[in-house]
Amino acid sequence: MASPSPCLLLILIVTLMAATEAVETETTASGPAGKKTYIVRVDHRAKPSVFPTHAHWYGSASFSGGGADPLPLLHVYDTVFHGFSASVTQDRAAALATHANVLAVFEDRVRRPDTTRSPQFLGLRNQVGLWSDSDYGSDVIVGVLDTGVWPERRSFSDRNLGPVPSRWRGTCETGPGFPASLCNRKLVGARFFSKGHDAAFAAGGGGINETVESRSPRDADGHGTHTASTAAGRHVFQASMSGYAEGIAKGVAPKARVATYKVCWKGSGCLDSDILAGFDCAVADGVDVISVSIGGGDGMASPYYLDPIAIGSYGAVSRGVFVASSAGNDGPTSMSVTNLSPWLTTVGAGTIDRNFPADVLLGDGRRLSGVSLYSGKPLAGTMYPLDYPGRSSGLSASLCMDNSLDPKLVAGKIVICDRGSSPRVAKGLVVKDAGGVGMILANGASNGEGLVGDAHVLPACAVGSAEGETIKAYATSAASPTVTIQFKGTILGVRPAPVVASFSGRGPNGLTPAVLKPDLIAPGVNILAAWTGSSGPTGLESDGRRTEFNILSGTSMACPHVSGAAALLKSAHPDWSPAAVRSAMMTTASLDDNLRRSVTDESTGRPATPFDFGAGHLNLDRAMDPGLVYDLSDQDYVAFLCAIGYDAKTVQVITHAPAACPARRPAMEDLNYPSISVAFNGAESNQSRRVRRTATNVGAGAGAVYQARVEMAAGQGLSIAIKPRKLVFTAGARRQSFAVTVTAAAEAAIGGAGARYAYLVWSDGEHEVRSAIVVSWMQPL
């Protein structure tokens, strides 16, 4: 392994200073009452030369104000962010905010992870195309911020891999049961971050449970192992989850190197201060791609200058590191998308052409379709009494919450449980503990017909909202209702696919409507990938089963598909910026399913819109050669931040570099994004907006001529003009600018906050460079 990185040296300094502070003040492990963790952004240029490092300066009495005790530092940030985190009282945090060199102070928050056929579904093929042209990503390092890794899994084997890239500066941190020897030429680095976590839970308990999880990079939860192997797992033969999805498991970039940064802990989530430390170390270590399948905190969109994922990712992107993030699992509610920063690539979830069907057979002969990953003893066609607790026992029983079911009523029966309020698999355990022999999990109206498979602890099947209502009606109307469940294994070639998953976070972007989010969708439903050895496939404490692979669903699973895709594109095009990589994915994304019809929304059955799937579904067969890209620089992002009303000091909180906003505020819509989103004021008619874009020719030939066309359904009430309508590229003019003028006529304004959609396509006869155009009537939150 390479010599220790600057990140490791900072950790050593802070650890020594924190130990000294503990001795001097006799602070207990739980910490004094009334303290919280705060993240402090500092103008690092102001450090007095007498201090050898920023860590020494932050921990000194001079920084604390002379008479005050030195700050009890947790993390020092020195790469993507300049500053520190510390556990202090609210009064002291307020005092820090007045420090001449402090740019911002914000409170630490808890976040949660957004919980092998898919590479082929993305258009990847052996021996040809992007896999072969990038050597499967062998020279790229993917950093994964998550719950850690189970390094012994075959997905992290380094067999036949070449040397670790010489630029790698990371390390393999050790801990109980995690020696440095577990890292190799595949798993090149592993770190863990718990100081913010420890400080947050010091007073109230509920922190790291060291009986089930060690203070090491080892993954006790499974989420991190799953996402890391989805992005970059090796080819593994005879892979399956208890017989389901049998075949060869592989990540999107099978030869890419993996560095894992454990910032989330089983059962208690991820602290912003630890996430920011993970970003800081990942960039200092030398990763090329960062994958962050972590949600947006409390569900409310924070301003970019108060969002550590936004701040950390900006620091990474400004250094050439591509960052992918999950769009959240709160769909299909409008404006539920998270991770909204324009420098992040925000990924929603879609289905693939594989399913795990199960049928519900009612006593009256009707057969209803569902899904399941149950792998235990089947019911073998035996009919059992059917019971719906919600008929007479109230809401808690209808949801099969803990201690809500009366064993006298459900023993020996198959029980209908409504989805919501508790984990799907936990409902099955409640039924089992009450003596039930099986469960039918029924979607509510908000979930629609969207289904995901679960490895239930008893015979169980999930059904859509319509099927659920049919079964409940039968259970409440028949004199002696009976039912059984048939499990049908794995089915390939499912049509239509992809479909936008009902849970996938949806637009519009409530923070800055001029930036369309999510950016695109990728496979995120029923994804097979490696799993931890310390937890069963349900994640329940009582689940004693162990499996090498597990099947999960969520935008957490979609995000690493894009991270792996970025690794391949960075390997094939090492000179591309993170914005160019994202542009290539977005402008070549698919709008059609495998029936050659428009991709549909699982929750409604209707065609999906850009608010549902952004630019469309990731298609790597086309992304390698997009023709044109929409590139972005630090200056472009600064102009965008000025455009949304941030002053120079607020911009510096994000960019950690001095910024000057122009006297005339730029237009936020002019950010050179691969999609175009225009938000008009109110429902007035005949409003017009001009948006500017600059395209860069990255095609094989220096000379190219592109013609513009607009695709738009009839009756949109929009007029869209492109000027010029022809772009001519030469060896000396690889960048060309154009303007898009969008005018909304009176009929477009009908419905107020509704939206209208169109597409701008630039074509040279070989490439189709497509940008979504969204027109809405809303104001940012």
Q: Evaluate whether 128 touches 104 at the Cβ level (below 8 Å).
A: no
Q: Which of 54, 197, 223, 767 is catalytic?
A: 223
Residue 54 annotated in active site? no
Q: Which of 273, 556, 583, 677 is catalytic?
A: 556
Closest to 641 in 3D by CA, of 736, 505, 511, 519: 511
Taking each helix axis from N to C terminus, what angle separates 555-572 and 223-232, rounded to the nearest 10 degrees?
Answer: 30
Structure-token match 């409504």, residue found? 418
Backbone angles phi, psi at 500, to 5 degrees: -65, 120
CA geometry: angle 145, 190, 120, nearest 5 deg:
60
Q: Evaluate whether 524 touches 602 at the Cβ level (below 8 Å).
A: no
Q: Which of 146, 221, 387, 593 is catalytic?
A: 146
Q: Give me the sheet containing 628-629, strands edge to edge.
A: 628-629, 687-697, 735-744, 718-723
CA distance 154 to 506: 35
Element (H, E) at 657: none
Structure-token match 């996938």, residue found? 504
The residues that bridge with 143 in the sheet, in sequence order, are: 259, 290
Backbone angles phi, psi at 56, to 5 degrees: -65, -40
Backbone angles phi, psi at 695, to 5 degrees: -105, 140
CA distance 434 to 715: 56
- The two tokens of residue 188 are 């090149």
**Which amino acid belongs to residue 718?**
L
Helix and strand totals (H; E) in the chain: 21, 38
**Which amino acid belongs to residue 631?**
D
Break the chain down into helix, strand, coil percent, rounded to 5: 25, 30, 45
Residue 146 annotated in active site? yes
Count of all residues that appear for the chain in the document:
781
- The two tokens of residue 632 are 């972005």
**Which amino acid belongs to residue 134?**
S
- The two tokens of residue 586 are 């977005």
Residue 603 annotated in active site? no
By CB atoms closer than 10 A (0-12, 13-18, 19+), residue 175 is middle
Q: Evaluate whether 18 touches 55 at the Cβ level (below 8 Å).
A: no
HSE at residue 324, side-chain half, CA atoms within 13 A, is 34
- The two tokens of residue 20 are 């000294």
Known catalytic residues are: 146, 223, 556
